[in-house]
Structure 1
Amino acid sequence: MSKVKYYYDSDTLSYKKISKKPGRFFGRFVLFIIASALFSILFLFIAGRFIDSPEEKALRRELANMQLQYDLLNSKMAEAEAVLANVEERDNNIYRVYFEANPIPEEQRLAGFGGINRYKKLEGYDNSEMITETAKRLDILTKRIVVQSKSLDEIKKLAEDKEKLLAAIPAIQPVSNEDLTRMASGYGYRSDPFTKIRKFHYGMDFTAPRGTPVYASGDGVVERADNQSSGYGNHIRIEHGYGYVSLYAHLYKYNVRRNQRVKRGDLIGFVGSTGRSEAPHLHYEVFKDGERINPINFYYGSLSAEEYAALLEKATQENESLD
């Protein structure tokens, strides 16, 4: 039973009954409906801004996956760039030197693309910078590959008439991998085993037991086979022609004599520890036009890609030489 309500009438000085008007209830109902609608709209607006719909979640996942794929692509491009840079260095410093061809300038290899903006269509997006940089790297990498391919075509043409040069180049490792204990020291600054002072080591040291065979790394003529050079002990020098000379030091004994012609792979001596040497090993050097150069670049004739990579890693470690 509903309660009866009264109000005080000051004119008549009496209480009067409050009667309910049908219109007032209807007005309150309409006000409630409007307030509910406004609250629903406000809730949907807030939810739309802070709560993703299934479609938005799917798009965000797709965007995250695309960003991951771009990161993986950039990582693979970095690996390809490193491999290509190594090929380019060998091309300029070895292959083109062999055939007296001018090195390709780095500016030409790494040049971008001038003129119109090739990447304008990629602008205006949230990830435009990332996409544009990736596209630029890919274009430059493609151009570098084209330049290198043309260079190798040129080298191939030059090599067709230079078989004697290729046979003369000291292109194999002078000690067989099966006979090696380890590659003790490479070309570069190393600690001297006697003075402990850091100085430049001009060759490569191959540790092997005394008496291990040593092979000629290229065709040529034995220029020296003696112990008359300070520090080298019993050593051999082979004149290959075309400005190349190879040196094999600290030998136990010789298997060749002065002025003898040798072929690549011929047995010329045996590992020892004569001269300024701390332990049995072969100290090996390569000269080009009277200048010592890094022998690591001249083993393409005897090592697989995996063996070369392992040797390169060991040769770059700065440790103590054996002579």
Structure 2
Amino acid sequence: MAKVKYYYDPKTLSYRKIEKGTRYKIRNTAIFLASSALMGALFYLVADNFINSPKEKRLHREVENMKIQYDILNGKMNQAVAVLEGLQKRDDDIYRVIFEAEPIPNTIRKAGFGGANRYKKLEGFDNSELIKETAQRMDQITKEIYVQSRSFDEIVDMAEDKTKLLAAIPAIQPVANKDLKRMASGFGLRVDPFTKARKMHNGMDFSAQIGTPVYATGDGKVIRADNRASGFGNHIRIDHGYGYTTVYAHLNEYNVRKGQKVKRGEIIGFVGNTGRSRGPHLHYEVWLNDDKLNPVNFYYGELSPEEFSTIIQMSSQPNQSFD
């Protein structure tokens, strides 16, 4: 209930009740509304700046948690970069050196991304720089991993090819040491057993009994097994790939046929005395792209240093060849 107010009237010497008119009511209402609006504004400002709603508190926690997660993610990426750099260094300095391949240039490993701004959709947020930087690092690492993966694929291919090359290159004697009578003649100028003149001897002669096994000196494919080559009699030729071919001449008989694939150490024939020959022996040649090479340089697969030294000494003697 509103208070009743009075005022003293000196004319009547008495107190009279104050009557509140419309104007008074309007003024008081206006003052009340203005005060309420002012208090509401002040409350809003205080609440907006100093008091968070439950939803705002939840969002704030989520943002802080996101920052923590991004920090953790960047830490893991630092570790991934360190591991990746180690792989790249071993790739360039070890693996590619072994297989005689050029290292991958940094311009390829560290190449960026061209075109339009890939991270435009990440702009306009309070933490845009953090998010963009993390996305850029992730993309860069992903690309470097892809490049490294392709490099390892190449290394695997080179390793497989190297394995095939090592298996194909002639690397053993065609006649076992236990079956040899002697090293009859080596590579170089030798006395011809028929003309007695010195001429080039393009292979090595292994003296052994007729029927002694003859072995393929490397993996390959038999491209000839016949007696149609002048002076060679019954002979075999094996294509080892990579430009290498071996010849086995004056055989008594064959143990393979044309077109057959053979492995190093497989018996392909037997020592004989066919063709232009002065006694039972195997004439053995190694070709590289049609150039005749000294076979003695290809016996590293089974000889000890002492045995190899003996072979070198024996094959270097300027004696008479058997063919």
Flag the structure with larger Rg. 2
Within 2, Cα distance between the matches of 1:317 and 1:299?
A: 18
Counterpart of 1:274, as a letter, is T
Paired residue secondary structure (1:162): helix
Unpaired runs of 5+ in structure 1? Answer: 1-98, 102-157
Q: What are the superposed Cα offsets for residues 278-316 of structure 1, whole Å, 9 maximum, x if unpaired?
A: 000000000001111110100001211111000000011
Structure 2: where are the runs of 5+ without partners? 1-98, 102-157
Alignment correspondent of 1:212: 212
- Aligned-partner Cα distance in 2 for 1:286–1:159: 25
Q: Deviations over 1:47-74 (max 9, x none)?
A: xxxxxxxxxxxxxxxxxxxxxxxxxxxx
Corresponding letter in the other structure for 1:219: D
1:310 corresponds to which residue? Answer: 310
| 1:55-204 correspondence to structure 2 within 5 Å | 162-204=162-204
Partner of 2:235: 235
Aligned pairs for 1:31-70 (under 5 A) are none
Q: Residues 321 and 159 from structure 1, CA distance in 2 versus in 1: closer, same or farther, beyond 3 angstroms?
A: farther
Aligned counterparts of 2:188 and 2:236: Cα–Cα separation in 1: 22
* 3-state SS of paired residue (1:269): strand
Q: Runs ≥4 in structure 1, deviation > 4 angstroms?
A: 158-161
Provide the residue aligned with 2:256 in structure 1: 256
Q: CA deviation at 1:321?
A: 0.2
What is residue 269 of structure 1 aligned with on the other side? 269
1:161 Cα deviation from its structure 2 partner: 5.0
CA change 1:159–1:296 in 2 (3 A) is farther
Aligned pairs, how many? 169
Q: Deviations over 1:159-183 (max 9, x none)?
A: 7850000000011000000000000
Q: Give runs of aligned pairs for residues 19-30 of structure 1, distance below 5 A.
A: none
2 CA distance for matches of 1:208 and 1:292? 23
CA deviation vs aligned residue, 1:82-112 (integer Å, no higher than 9, x gap): xxxxxxxxxxxxxxxxx889xxxxxxxxxxx
Q: 2:302 and 2:173 mapped to 1: Cα distance?
A: 6
Of all paired residues, the percent bearing the same amino acid is: 67
The 3-state SS of whatever aligns with 2:246 is strand
CA offsets per residue over residues 237-280 of structure 1, 9 Å max, x none? 00000000000000000000000000000000000000000000
1: CA distance between counterparts of 2:100 and 2:207? 34
Deviations 1:108-135 (A, max 9, x none): xxxxxxxxxxxxxxxxxxxxxxxxxxxx
Q: Distance in 1 between matches of 2:308 and 2:159?
A: 23
**Aligned in 2, Cα 1:229/1:161: closer, same or farther, shift over 3 Å?**
closer
Give SS of 1:195's match: coil
Partners in 1 of 2:185 and 2:289 — Cα distance?
Answer: 24
Cα-Cα RMSD: 1.6
* Distance in 1 separating the partners of 2:202 and 2:161: 32
In structure 2, distance between residues paired with 1:249 and 1:282:
6
Letter in 2 for 1:263: K
Q: Secondary structure at the match of 1:274?
A: coil
TM-score w.r.t. length of structure 1: 0.51
| C-alpha distance in 2 between matches for 1:182 and 1:193 | 17
- Give 1:191 shift: 0.2
Q: Distance in 2 between matches of 1:264 and 1:173?
A: 10
TM-score, normalisation: structure 2 = 0.51
For 1:290 and 1:272, how far apart are their aligned partners in 2? 25
Instruction: Flag the 1:278–1:100 CA change in 2: closer, same or farther, 3 A.
Output: farther
Which letter maps to 2:252? Y
Q: Per the alignment, in what secondary structure is the counterpart of residue 228 of structure 2?
A: coil
Cα distance, 1:210 vs. partner? 0.5
Residue equivalent to 2:295: 295
SS of 2:303 mapped into structure 1:
coil
| Secondary structure, counterpart of 2:257 in structure 1 | coil
In structure 2, what is the Cα distance between the partners aligned to 1:198 and 1:298?
Answer: 25
Give the match's secondary structure for 1:320. Answer: coil
